[in-house]
């Protein structure tokens, strides 16, 4: 039964169609990475039925750069990931860098199900 669970696929993000014209799927580990991306780049209030979902990371691009803002953003992002994905991942560290109109985030985490360490890097230009 454990092997059947590992073979399950999730809907890929962003939503797209595969070569057969069906909704594209992805594996469990890649799905977790997709979920992290959704938390990072969704603004609180953007989802109607989950008004607190997201991290507010995009607004960083419009703020003046400072060490204090960087530290506060890292804490906010880590808190959002723990709140929304705490059952799936253990966040070890988050690094946020804002340069011009680009935000780069590196998340070090452990997948709870497999205890496997992962590093995911995200970049979003506004």
For the chain, the structural domain boundaries read 27-125
| Model pLDDT, residue 126 | 54
Which parts of the chain register pLDDT below 70? 1-8, 60-66, 100-101, 125-126
Q: Which CATH class is domain 27-125?
A: alpha beta
| CB 48 within 8 Å of CB 40 | no
* pTM flag (> 0.85): no
| Model pLDDT, residue 23 | 82
CA 34, CA 43: separation in Å to the nearest integer?
Answer: 16
| Model pLDDT, residue 5 | 46
Sign of the dihedral through C-alpha 68, 65, 58, 87: negative
| Model pLDDT, residue 65 | 66
């Amino acid at each position: 039964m454990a092997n059947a669970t590992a073979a399950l696929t999730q809907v890929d993000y962003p939503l797209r169609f595969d070569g057969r014209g069906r909704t594209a799927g992805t594996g469990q580990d890649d799905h977790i990475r997709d979920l992290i991306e959704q938390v990072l780049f969704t603004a609180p209030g953007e989802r109607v039925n989950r008004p607190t979902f997201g991290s507010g990371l995009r607004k960083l691009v419009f703020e003046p750069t400072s060490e204090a803002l960087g530290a506060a953003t890292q804490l906010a992002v880590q808190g959002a990931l723990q709140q929304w994905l705490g059952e799936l991942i253990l966040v070890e560290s988050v690094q946020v860098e804002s340069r011009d109109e680009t935000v780069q985030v590196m998340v070090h985490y452990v997948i709870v199900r497999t205890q496997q360490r992962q590093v995911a890097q995200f970049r979003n230009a506004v």
